[in-house]
Amino acid sequence: MIDGDGGPGDSEDLETRDTPAEVDAAFRTLRRVAVGYFLVFLGVVAAFPLLSFTLDWWSEARVLGDLSPGFLTAAIGLYAVFAVIGMAAASLSSAVEARMLGGPRDPEAGP
């Protein structure tokens, strides 16, 4: 049979449609994930100037050659932290979306 003619090989039989309530729930969950990771990002960014203002050794000490802990954190540490935050947010968002939306459902398994 030709695909699309309603026969047993038709791809529409395998297509799963999510209800508006499921999509809304997934959207709200993903929004919570995004806000949570944004707050973590904001905390990391806000901690950097706070450390500079409150701890003298943060900008006066020398760790590696003539580099201060503040400079090393800005030059290397923040990029690494932001990469980890981005990967964690992306993987959690993908997992939430995969679990909440799409995929064929087994009618015998129930909701």
pLDDT in tens, 28-56: 999 999 999 999 999 999 998 898 899 88
Q: pTM for the whole thing?
A: 0.69
Mean pLDDT of 7-29: 74
Say if 85 falls within a structural domain.
yes
Q: Which residues form the domain of 53?
A: 19-100
Q: Is residue 78 part of a domain?
A: yes
Q: Which residues, other chains included, contact 92 with Cβ-Cβ below 8 Å and sequence gap of 6+?
A: 33, 37
Q: What does the pLDDT read at residue 35?
A: 96
Residues above pLDDT 70, as percent of the chain: 78
Nearest to 52 by CA among 32, 28, 78: 78
pLDDT tens track for 49-72 = 898 899 888 888 898 889 999 899
Q: At what angle do helices 20-54 and 78-100 cross, to 10 degrees?
A: 170
What confidence tens digit (pLDDT) does each residue in 87-104 have? 999 999 999 988 988 765
Residue 33 near residue 92, CB atoms below 8 Å: yes
Residue 64, phi then psi, degrees to nearest 5: -125, 105
Residue 67 forms beta bridges with which residues? 64
Q: How many domains does the chain have?
A: 1
Residue 3 located in a structural domain: no
Residue 1 domain flag: no
In a domain, 84, yes or no: yes
The pLDDT value recorded for residue 17 is: 82
Count CA atoms within 13 Å of residue 111 on its CB side. Answer: 3
Distance CA 73, CA 50 (A): 13
* Rg of the chain over all Cα atoms, to the nearest angstrom: 24
> Is 9 part of a structural domain of the chain?
no
Asked if residue 83 has pLDDT above 70, the reply is yes
